[in-house]
Amino acid sequence: MRRTFALTAAALLLGLSACAAPEEAPRGPAPSGAAASAAAGINDSPQQNRIVPAKVDQIAGLVPEAVRKDGKLIIGVGAAASGFPPLAFTATDNKTLIGSEPDVAVAIAGVLGLEPVLENTSWENLFIGLDSGKYHVGSSNITVTELRKQKYDFATYRLDNLGFEARKGSGLTVTKPADVAGKRVAVSSGTNQEKILVEWSKAAEQQGLKPVDIKYYQTNQAVYLALSSGQIDLYLGPNPGVAYHVAVAGETEIVGTYSGAGANLQGKIALTTKKDSGLVQALAAALNELIRTGDYAKILDRWNLKNEAVATSEVNPPGLPIDGK
């Protein structure tokens, strides 16, 4: 499953891939005026003041001996070029890697008593690096799938959600197909979210309701202009990108979320290691410690991603099924 989108100005994102890297393009200029003022709530400077917890000896003891002796946790992040805000992207200096994915990984390294080493790479080279042992862990919006579980171990840390975005004060709430019946909803063509929206439209019709009036636009700016001017009622995209736009533009809100895996499974994002490397239990334990202390919630909140929080980190939970099985 691959969700494609174009990335232009930092505030204007149409989507993020939870299962694969997004299509990348250079970051545009920062938003101005009211948008710039709202964007002040998102720190995109090189000075991140990340949360780095103290080492927890009992959890650190779960780390394989070879990694403990080296003292470093090598973290691969598939955010080459401009990346994908708010998950992983370059700061205003165009070189420092920032976002929720690096933040989570750095905090975990602290609990494990290891020095975090962030390596920015392409999506494809991230997995090559995991296979070769170049990276101990991948922290790059990777969805758990049954196919990937054949080669990798997973410790979950975020939900894989889609988000419905509407103008502030619209009064809309979206939880089921009937809520979008007859509504004008923008979505990116050829994406997983389009597939789900089409299914919802058919479900609404089966209930005797109007179908969804699905709209397609060529650019991010066109979508958000249509939303702000009332030409459309909603935009459906991967939740992180929607959440980032909400945070930096200050004119819209998320009025509903839905599992990116569809109706029968909650998709989950996970830290990824080479299968049987011995590291996954330590990662999950460290994540659960961050959840217990509240540091995890603080990390997600600073990137406006609290609606993707998990209650506990799971090791190798059910993933997206293999096609045809």
- Token duo for residue 136: 């101990």
Pick the CATH number of 161-259 from 3.30.70.370, 3.40.640.10, 3.40.190.10, 3.10.20.90: 3.40.190.10
| SS3 state of residue 14 | coil
Gap between the Cα atoms of 205 and 208, Å rounded: 5
Which residues in 105-141 are b (16+ Cβ under 10 Å) and which e? bbbbbbbbbbebebbbbbbebbbebbeeeebbbbbbb
324: Cβ contacts below 8 Å, ≥ 6 apart = none
pTM exceeds 0.75 for this model: yes
Amino acid sitting at position 225: L
Residue found under tokens 């099924």: 321
Amino acid sitting at position 193: Q
**CATH 2.60.40.1180 is right for the domain spanning 44-160+266-308:** no
Determine contact, residues 174/185, Cβ cutoff 8 Å: no
Per-residue pLDDT, 54: 97
Q: What is the mean pLDDT of each run of 10 residues along the chain (325 residues)?
A: 32 38 35 38 91 98 97 95 89 94 98 97 95 97 96 98 97 98 96 94 98 94 95 97 93 96 94 98 98 98 96 97 73
74: Cβ contacts below 8 Å, ≥ 6 apart = 117, 119, 134, 135, 136, 137
Per-residue pLDDT, 147: 96
Q: What are the extents of the domains in the chain?
A: 44-160+266-308, 161-259
Task: Give the alpha-carbon dihedral of 83, 104, 259, 255, to 10 degrees.
Answer: -80
- Token duo for residue 66: 């070879």
Neighbouring CB atoms inside 10 A of 196's CB total 20
Per-residue pLDDT, 235: 98
Residue-wise DSSP of 287-307:
HHHHHHHTHHHHHHHHTT-GG
